[in-house]
Amino acid sequence: MKFTTQLASAFAAVASLAQLANAVPVLKRDVTDPQVLNYALTLEHLEAAFYTEGLAKFTAADFAHAGYPDWTYGRLEQIRDHEVTHVKFLTTALQTAGSQAVEPCTYKFPIPDVKSFVSLAGTLESVGSTAYTGGASFVSDKNYLTAAASILAVEARHASWINSAVLHGAAWDTAFQTPLSLNAVYSLAVPFITSCPQGNAAALPSLTAYPALAIQGKPGSTATLNFSVQNDGPLFVAFVSGLGTPVFQPIHNNQVAIPSDLRGYVFAFVTSSDGVLDDATTMAGPAILNIAFDSRGNVA
């Protein structure tokens, strides 16, 4: 009887998680496996270019002068090599299947110094993890899904190492990785892309970049928003973290109250709805709030 009760509780928990998963902004659409792989390849091209450029621009001595331990540069070289390997792997997988593989774009990264480079590395790896988590639901072939899961695990380890060992922050956010929609991740990548080969678009799913959103503030505070949207009705900010249901807060005079219980990487969207977050209701974003917290869960 005890086992039966525990089993029933377990199934109830799984059902609850399924309901939560349906609340995050990952929409089902007609996307083929090659398109999903090219979407992932687009992100891997960006990451590979970022590390290649940054590590060519800054030397190990530059890292030491900025106050980082002598092992930091070598570990970042290993991450660069991982990203380059991911590019080669996805490219080969697509070409072997007889599909077009997207080419790298031209990029512009805001990395004037070592600290900017390291900080952006932590953000890119964290976003990469959300991208693979959100994109997994569109993959049909189990072999591709296994490969994507393998890359996701490595991207998450990259993010944890940079955010904790190097930046001395938290190695994780909540108990669940946030899945972001294809358009949400694309919106975060667009500011780093100056141009792409014309043939890339045909190999990718239909993607739209939302207008930019800027927000700064700590949990429990009132933050001022920076965005440009034409909308006659009321607007809200949806705060997304993990697999939890987005938290909607009304916007008044370009200000919004940040919920007090948010921790880690949180993604904020301006929406026209106070209960639905999807492509139709998203007006701007996402903006990233990296809410630092200590070992007791308190905001740093």
Say if residue 193 is in the same domain as residue 220: no
Say if residue 51 is in the same domain as residue 181: yes
Say if residue 79 is in the same domain as residue 109: yes
Which of 203, 229, 245 corresponds to the end of one domain? 203
Name the 3-class secondary structure at 198: coil
The answer to whether residue 165 sits within a structural domain is yes
Say if residue 139 is in the same domain as residue 260: no
Say if residue 194 is in the same domain as residue 218: no
The answer to whether residue 263 sits within a structural domain is yes
Q: 29 or 249, which is more confident?
A: 249
Closest CA to 277 of 29, 27, 28: 27
Instruction: Please list the residues that pair with 271 across neighbouring strands.
Output: 236, 282
* Average confidence score pLDDT of the chain: 89
Asked whether the beta carbons of 186 and 241 are under 8 A apart, the reply is no
Count of domains forming the chain: 2
In the chain, beta strands by DSSP E: 106-107, 193-195, 213-215, 222-227, 236-240, 247-250, 255-257, 264-271, 282-291
The runs of H, that is alpha helices, within 99-170 are 114-135, 142-161
Asked whether the beta carbons of 27 and 280 are under 8 A apart, the reply is no
Please say if the pLDDT value at position 177 is more than 90: yes
Quote the pTM value. Answer: 0.88
| Cα–Cα distance for residue pair 229/226, rounded to 1 Å | 10
pLDDT score for 201:
94
DSSP state for residue 287 in the 8-state scheme = E
Say if residue 129 is in the same domain as residue 251: no
The answer to whether residue 13 sits within a structural domain is no
pLDDT score for 12:
38
Which of 161, 176, 203 corresponds to the end of one domain? 203
pLDDT digits (tens, 9 = 90+) for 220-278: 999 999 999 887 889 999 999 999 899 999 999 999 999 999 999 999 999 999 999 99
Alpha-carbon dihedral angle through residues 272, 273, 278, 279, given to the nearest 10 degrees: -20
| Cα–Cα distance for residue pair 211/121, rounded to 1 Å | 23
Burial of 244: CB neighbours in 10 Å, binned 0-12, 13-18, 19+: middle
pLDDT score for 11:
31
Question: Six-digit token pair at 21?
Answer: 């998963």
The answer to whether residue 8 sits within a structural domain is no
Say if residue 42 is in the same domain as residue 62: yes
Closest CA to 240 of 280, 291, 164: 291
Say if residue 58 is in the same domain as residue 198: yes
The answer to whether residue 6 sits within a structural domain is no
C-beta atoms surrounding 116 within 10 Å: 13
The answer to whether residue 102 sits within a structural domain is yes
Q: Which domain holds residue 227?
A: 213-291
Say if residue 149 is in the same domain as residue 183: yes
Which of 163, 180, 203 corresponds to the end of one domain? 203
Say if residue 134 is in the same domain as residue 260: no
Instruction: Please list the residues that pair with 266 across neighbouring strands.
Output: 289
Please say if the pLDDT value at position 23 is more than 70: no
Say if residue 115 is in the same domain as residue 220: no
The answer to whether residue 48 sits within a structural domain is yes
Please enumerate in sequence order all residues whose Cβ is within 8 A of that of 103, keeping only pairs 6 or more positions apart, or say none.
45, 196, 197, 199, 200
Q: What is the CATH number of the domain that holds 141?
A: 1.20.1260.10
Say if residue 237 is in the same domain as residue 89: no
